[in-house]
Structure 1
Amino acid sequence: MVAFLGTGLLGANFVKALLKKGNQVQVWNRTAAKASALEADGARAFADVAAAVKGADIIHLTLKDDAAVNEVLAAARKGLKPGAIIVDHTTTSAAGAIQRTREWKEQGFTYLHAPVFMGPINALESTGYMLVSGDQAVVSQLEPVLSQMTGKVLNFGAEEGKAAGMKLIGNLFLVTFTAGIADTLSLAKALHIPLDDLNTLFDSWNPGAMLAARLQRVAGGKYDQPSWELNMARKDTQLFMDAAAQGGTTFAVIPAIASEMDKWIAKGHGNDDWTVIGKDAATK
């Protein structure tokens, strides 16, 4: 028996996929109608979270944040069967995941944080990525179950909370990447360049292919052999901002990057490779 707590877009499709694989699934959601809607697919919906977890061997969670996870699990506690396994797919802090792992173990339960890089379609199709870390005996026990829910389970080793940290890093990259796309579109708008031309450029020149090498360059700590000097990068950044201002558009992140460049130029790094702006982050 499986219980699923939190049946929003992601959770609902996880439930549907579990049902298609022949699992009995009991569901709960803070907005009861979202859980009840899954009864048409074969789930059993409960208005009370403690009732929803009763008899379940594994309880999955897809909730909002640390506070929601703590609140819902506290409310579900009286319904948990002895030795039940809690698998939390919520994006949370690393500290919260570590604390819950310890506290639930002390109470006789297994808690594993398993955040995902999966959208609703991935959850329905069992594709995408699920991250785990911590007690490797627990990971080994649950990996066959988790592998059925996703395309790939990425195991980051024995360190508690590391999966949570990796999820946050991945989401940070998605946020900054998307903000960069927004600024790219803003500059294109200011310069009256259509989307089709952007597609032509990026179909031929794929900067994403440079990611691994750029990560190593920024983190490597050697900036005195530039391929693009910081002074020149800052000059181009000013051209971006001037063109946007003239075209009546605004940027989300470029002004902050320009400010960071100015700080490093003021420190005397104008002739270094422009990746020097990541020096503080790269320094251990």
Structure 2
Amino acid sequence: MTASITSRSYQPSPSTKVAFLGLGVMGYPMAGHLAMAGHQVTAYNRTAAKAHAWAEEFPSGHQAATPREAVKGARMVFCCVGNDDDLRAVVLGDDGAFAGMEPGAIFVDHTTASAQVARELYAEAQKRGLHFIDAPVSGGQAGAVNGQLTVMCGGDQAVFDQVAPMADAFSRAFTYMGECGSGQLTKMVNQICVAGLVQALSEAIAFGLRADLDVEKVLDVIGKGAAQSWQLDNRGKTMAVGKFDFGFAVDWMRKDLGLVLQEAQRNGARLPVTALVDQFYADVQAMGGSRWDTSSLIQRLR
């Protein structure tokens, strides 16, 4: 077991040369699981010191100075960066991944990004004889550390089928959702659900505290009934005591909800609650909670 990830049993898979671009709170452990599963991983990170630390922690891994150098000879390239612009920066250009990938290689993007950029990069990959899968993840930092992420994928079925055995190293569910962009659109559905659930849970806990109830006991009781959810089970009690120094940051959630609302403008979906909760997260940012966990919505109600 390493300091940064939880060791688990891995499905047997032939050792494969792969690259991983982006070693943030999600990418670092995801790349680590690939290395621990026996794959030859070369990692790239914009901050080179982070890549150096990763290569020291996983001696079978290597680091590279540019995305192009990292992907040299790799059959598959995994990526998890911040947003559309970050993704384009590591994929395109003379030092980008596409410039160094060999024909037939597969680029798997785990960034939560727009469906538009997924389609853009899919088309560019096709021009170059490469393959592209959009594959955003859910499960947060804990899911990445434990190798238990849920991954929703868009692209070509035959390409997805090649990636799935490899992705078992860091996922508990790796699911094909349809053509390119479908993974990102599915992640947007996920974030719409999360936003509404966290706001409802915030109001419920704030109400319970005002009513002088034993909120811990309340959560135990209602968690056995129709109100049960992942958010209640994993965030309810920490919300009640005002603990938010972990998990998925408010800044990241606002970025994701921005993508959701942009897509809704395009497709005509009506998202009144989602738009309202996005503004509530703006309030949390104004309170100094940009890096607090998304469950910090309750702070507005205290």
Could you tell me the TM-score, scaled by structure 1's length? 0.68
Tell me, what secondary structure is at the counterpart of 2:39? coil
Match of 2:184 among 154, 158, 164: 164
The CA distance in 1 between the partners of 2:160 and 2:68, in whole Å, is: 26
Tell me, what secondary structure is at the counterpart of 1:207? coil
Q: 1:1-284 to 2 correspondence within 5 Å?
A: 1-40=17-56, 41-42=58-59, 43-74=61-92, 75-76=95-96, 77-157=98-178, 159-208=179-228
Residue 172 of structure 1 aligns to which amino acid in structure 2? I
The CA distance in 2 between the partners of 1:37 and 1:19, in whole Å, is: 14
Structure 1 residue ranges, 4+ long, deviating more than 3 angstroms after superposition? none
Range with greater deviation from structure 2 (65-74 or 128-137): 128-137
More helix by share: 1
Shift of 1:204: 4.2
The CA distance in 1 between the partners of 2:115 and 2:186, in whole Å, is: 9
Residue identity over aligned pairs, in percent, reads 28
Shift of 1:167: 0.7
Tell me, what secondary structure is at the counterpart of 1:87? strand
Deviations 1:51-86 (A, max 9, x none): 222222211000111111111111323332333210
Tell me, what secondary structure is at the counterpart of 1:56? coil
The CA distance in 2 between the partners of 1:50 and 1:139, in whole Å, is: 23
- Seen in structure 2, the aligned counterparts of structure 1 residues 174 and 108 have a Cα distance that, compared at 3 Å, is same
Tell me, what secondary structure is at the counterpart of 1:60? strand
Q: Structure 2 unaligned runs (5+)?
A: 1-16, 230-272, 278-302
Shift of 1:145: 2.1
Preserved contact between residue 13 and residue 121 of structure 1 (Cα < 8 Å): no
Preserved contact between residue 87 and residue 114 of structure 1 (Cα < 8 Å): yes
Match of 2:245 in 1: none
The CA distance in 1 between the partners of 2:22 and 2:125, in whole Å, is: 19
Residue 165 of structure 1 aligns to which amino acid in structure 2? L
- Seen in structure 2, the aligned counterparts of structure 1 residues 149 and 201 have a Cα distance that, compared at 3 Å, is closer
Tell me, what secondary structure is at the counterpart of 2:171? coil
RMSD over equivalenced CA pairs, Å: 2.3
Preserved contact between residue 4 and residue 59 of structure 1 (Cα < 8 Å): yes
Preserved contact between residue 42 and residue 64 of structure 2 (Cα < 8 Å): yes
Pairs aligned (count): 212
Match of 1:233 in 2: none
